[in-house]
């Protein structure tokens, strides 16, 4: 079992080194772990730091957004024959130890996709995030007919079947909801497991902005209409 951890990164030089250093190098049931940083047109030293941490780096010559980065990661996973893909935020918001429980249902061949949900055990999540996330969940349900407790989670795992079937077309934050659309379209089995997010000043600044919620919804809507 080869695991590919995809870390989309845009100007994350401040955090990416620490995040990569803390990622697990060995997980039971996994023979090989590859860390892939998608440097999404950063103007800082993100790529250099990632390389120094022995991560594979793919560089976008211009910034394409979160969806663009994850899409590139998936393409790389297909080319290199990865068995499991994990998407992991490079701003230090996720706990490395959550990867183990995240990929467990996939190793046990129970599901195709696992979503790490911050809202199964609601704790220490800022109130505005709870509200925005709930509205996003409702929008995801209305647009794609699939209910999730955390439609905006960045911590997810996919098995080989999901990797081969999921097509990512969106460029920015709407990718999070698009993944649910793809789960539904391809009839993939998915489950959610509780994770804990670490909210720091830095991760809140770098992560999804509340003001992005409406444009993200409009883009999702436009994508359906075409």
The site string for other proteins over 202-221 (x = CB under 8 A, - otherwise) reads -----------------x--
Provide the CA 97 distance to its chain's centre, in angstroms.
Answer: 16
| Per-residue exposure over 162-187, b if at least 16 CB sit within 10 Å of its own CB, e if not | bbeebebebbbbbbbbbbbbbbeeee
Q: Which stretch binds other proteins (CB under 8 A): 24-32, 63-71, 90-98, 154-162?
A: 63-71
Q: Which stretch binds other proteins (CB under 8 A): 54-62, 118-126, 155-163, 194-202?
A: 54-62
Rounded to 5, what percent of the chain is helix, strand, coil?
40, 20, 40
The site string for other proteins over 112-151 (x = CB under 8 A, - otherwise) reads ----------------------------------------
Question: Whole-angstrom Cα distance, residue 145 to residue 131?
Answer: 20
Q: Which stretch binds other proteins (CB under 8 A): 59-67, 91-99, 121-129, 157-165?
A: 59-67
Residues of this chain, 23-42, that bind other proteins according to CB under 8 A = 38
159 in Cβ contact with 103 (< 8 Å): no
Instruction: Give the nearer residue to other proteins in terms of CB position, either 73 or 116.
Output: 73
Give the ranges where the chain is alpha helix by DSSP (H). Answer: 16-22, 46-52, 66-80, 98-107, 127-144, 160-165, 175-185, 201-206, 213-225
21 in Cβ contact with 53 (< 8 Å): yes
When binding is defined by CB under 8 A, the residue of 17, 71, 92, 207 that contacts other proteins is 71
**Is position 181 an interface residue for other proteins (rule: CB under 8 A)?**
no
Question: Whole-angstrom Cα distance, residue 110 to residue 112?
Answer: 7
**Is position 169 an interface residue for other proteins (rule: CB under 8 A)?**
yes
Q: Which residues contact 213 (CB under 8 A, 6 or more apart)?
A: 132, 135, 136
* Closest distance of CB 224 from other proteins, Å: 11
Instruction: Give the nearer residue to other proteins in terms of CB position, either 47 or 115.
Output: 47
* Closest distance of CB 115 from other proteins, Å: 24
Longest dimension (CA), the chain: 44
* Closest distance of CB 173 from other proteins, Å: 14
**Is position 171 an interface residue for other proteins (rule: CB under 8 A)?**
yes
Which residues bind to other proteins, rule: CB under 8 A? 38, 56, 58-62, 64-65, 67-68, 71-72, 75-76, 79, 169, 171, 219, 222-223, 225-226
């Amino acid at each position: 079992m080869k695991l590919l951890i995809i870390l989309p990164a845009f100007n994350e030089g401040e955090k990416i080194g620490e995040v990569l250093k803390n990622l697990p190098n060995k997980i039971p049931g996994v023979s090989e772990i590859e860390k892939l940083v998608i440097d999404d047109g950063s103007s800082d030293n993100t790529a250099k730091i990632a390389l120094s941490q022995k991560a594979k780096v793919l560089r976008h010559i211009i910034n394409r957004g979160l969806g663009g980065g994850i899409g590139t990661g998936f393409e790389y996973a297909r080319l290199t024959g990865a068995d499991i893909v994990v998407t992991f935020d490079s701003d230090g918001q996720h706990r490395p130890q959550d990867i183990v429980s995240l990929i467990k249902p996939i190793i046990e061949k129970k599901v195709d996709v696992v979503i790490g949900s911050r809202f199964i055990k609601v704790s220490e999540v800022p109130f505005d995030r709870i509200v925005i996330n709930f509205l996003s969940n409702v929008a995801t349900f209305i647009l794609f007919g699939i209910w999730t407790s955390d439609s905006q989670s960045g911590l997810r795992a996919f098995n080989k079947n999901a990797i081969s079937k999921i097509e990512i077309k969106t460029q920015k934050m709407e990718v999070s909801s698009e993944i649910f659309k793809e789960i539904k379209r391809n009839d993939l089995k998915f489950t959610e497991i509780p994770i804990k997010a670490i909210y720091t000043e830095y991760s809140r600044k770098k992560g999804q902005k509340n003001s992005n919620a409406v444009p993200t919804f409009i883009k999702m809507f436009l994508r359906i209409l075409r």
